[in-house]
Structure 1
């Protein structure tokens, strides 16, 4: 009898952030592929009894875990629950003591930008992640840049790490909800979009400084995520033309992209960089920083400004306002580039790895 393949679903206990959304989508893609495959796998999804959201699967055998929301369960109980099979971990963390596991480590930000995280969080990741990686049968990450960084910081050997690019086409699955435009007084082409964050590496200060320039006074800067109060409390200074829309669902985000002049994405580093691809799929040009995995993901489909070049960001925003041919070219290039990042492809790559696992534990 083939060994069962367990998926660590502890992430369902957390809020639906970027990492958890990726993990959940990969679970659903594996479930979809398993339903269509002639090769039947014993797939088991271990999820917390206390959880923030739930999986939508048909093939997986879902098993609730009483303490599945805790680190104690992940490190101390999970290795015994899954001891007779392989274990797939998709949200950065995995139990050190399990002997046949795959671990997806999304990036190395806790090394590159430790100041963006609480001290105990950063130290914990820096100690535990290399041990988790070295004790894994295979390690995955989301870009060649992240693969190189994990190797450079001694987290995982380059040769042992595979790249599993994220998909971006989820943004096209939700119908655009234009009420977000009406509610916030936004007009077609009259605003740019930025994702607000208090993390230092997100470099939101550069976007705020650019849109404080008088040349962009008549262009609204729509800030997704944290409130103005939270951003100010972290030392950031939003410009007068900033509009704060809070957290958005995919339908609202799609509508926002589709009517925007552009997305501005000034991060100093990214393990992948999903927003530019989402924007491109919605015919929204992206202005990005040439940092981290962003050039790898965007290539020549985006416009580039240095992380600290305020005047450069102002110039490129104005270029998209004034040069319709440039804007059309970037929309076309962006649509083609972003279309290469699909969740179907990500799921197929993960499924190939899952199917390659030995039927019996050694």
Structure 2
């Protein structure tokens, strides 16, 4: 079986979809039968130099770091260039690590739909919403099988697109187990004191505004000196949120912002936090809680979408749409030291349920079944 993998989502600083792509390909390359072959279509061939795979260089214009223009180019490349290369390389099956597929391929193609964010938040993802409404229905009609990253997203796909549940496989995300573990170094604690950690404030569904309001309410009812540390690259949305609180003294003194934390520093960031506050209104999977638990960081998390599936019984759950619920979660996690210790101790067991190698095995098994 010759598998062509559309990995055009990669650039030199991969985030969610890119990290999934790298890990799945790396693990898949390790477990392939000797009669099988991977052909990787990517603009960053250097990622795969040490793998026993064939790599086809794609134009750098498709890289996500190039913004919306790159999204259009990636779509056009997938429709017109990819099938030429795919047939030239005599691939048997196309696997896309994302929801980007070709409308004209007559051979089997399989997509990974990570979430339905563009459907659930159309004003936030207007172009993606158009794609998910007009293109995805045609792609999945041509796909004999789909993958997603959680049972919750599988249910979303079934409910919205009426695709058969037994034709959707779940291949969970995981995390780098050699990288994410508890660190004793306290560099972030030395800089910011005790802090609740909020990661990712790029879009409204991440719920940063309501979280800040809940934190300010908590500070108004507590003498605890804890801060709220928000880590996210500066963008227009985050700037607009900041402007709403400019006149609030507690906000200015106790809500701290960090533009960027390197991958190497992330485990220290988690390890130094009193807790991770993960109040997202929807996630296809949600990797930060998993990374946090691996570092011994207690997690306060939303009770919706796939998040309970990821965190199991080892998080303190809140209603992300209820500011008072977030406030109560913050109050409980800060004031209850035993709760923090229990969540920290038991979180490690939850992380063991997620493994890139197992996810790749599930993927490989289903691709084999399709090829037979």
TM range (shorter): 0.7 to 0.9
Q: Which residue of 2 aligns with 1:5?
A: 3
TM-superposed CA distance for 1:210, in Å, is 1.5
CA contact (8 A) 1:45 1:60 kept: yes
Gaps of 5+ in 1: none
| Cα distance in 1, alignment partners of residues 58 and 235 from structure 2 | 39
Q: Which residue of 1 aligns with 2:41?
A: 46
* More moved, 134-143 vs 192-201: 192-201
TM-superposed CA distance for 1:229, in Å, is 6.7
Q: Which residue of 1 aligns with 2:167?
A: 160
Structure 1 residues 56 and 197, CA gap change in structure 2 (3 angstroms)? farther
Q: Which residue of 2 aligns with 1:96?
A: 103
TM-superposed CA distance for 1:139, in Å, is 0.3
Q: Which residue of 1 aligns with 2:124?
A: 116
| Cα distance in 2, alignment partners of residues 52 and 123 from structure 1 | 31
CA contact (8 A) 1:147 1:163 kept: yes
TM-superposed CA distance for 1:205, in Å, is 1.5
Query: Scaled by the length of structure 1, what TM-score is found?
Result: 0.87
Mapped pair 1:257 → 2:250: no
| Cα distance in 1, alignment partners of residues 46 and 85 from structure 2 | 22
Structure 1 residues 358 and 281, CA gap change in structure 2 (3 angstroms)? same
Structure 1 residues 232 and 67, CA gap change in structure 2 (3 angstroms)? closer
How many residue pairs get aligned? The number is 348
TM-superposed CA distance for 1:303, in Å, is 0.4
For residues 1-362 of structure 1, the aligned pairs below 5 Å read 3-13=1-11, 16-34=14-32, 37=33, 39-48=34-43, 51=44, 54-66=47-59, 69=62, 70=73, 71-83=75-87, 84=90, 85-98=92-105, 99-117=107-125, 119-154=126-161, 156-170=163-177, 172=179, 178=185, 181=188, 185-187=191-193, 190-213=194-217, 214-215=220-221, 218-227=225-234, 230-233=237-240, 237=244, 239-240=251-252, 241-358=254-371
CA contact (8 A) 2:181 2:295 kept: no
What is the root-mean-square deviation of aligned Cα atoms in Å?
2.6
Gaps of 5+ in 2: 63-72, 246-250
| Cα distance in 2, alignment partners of residues 131 and 215 from structure 1 | 53
CA contact (8 A) 1:191 1:222 kept: yes
TM-superposed CA distance for 1:12, in Å, is 2.2
CA contact (8 A) 1:267 1:289 kept: yes
CA contact (8 A) 2:202 2:232 kept: no
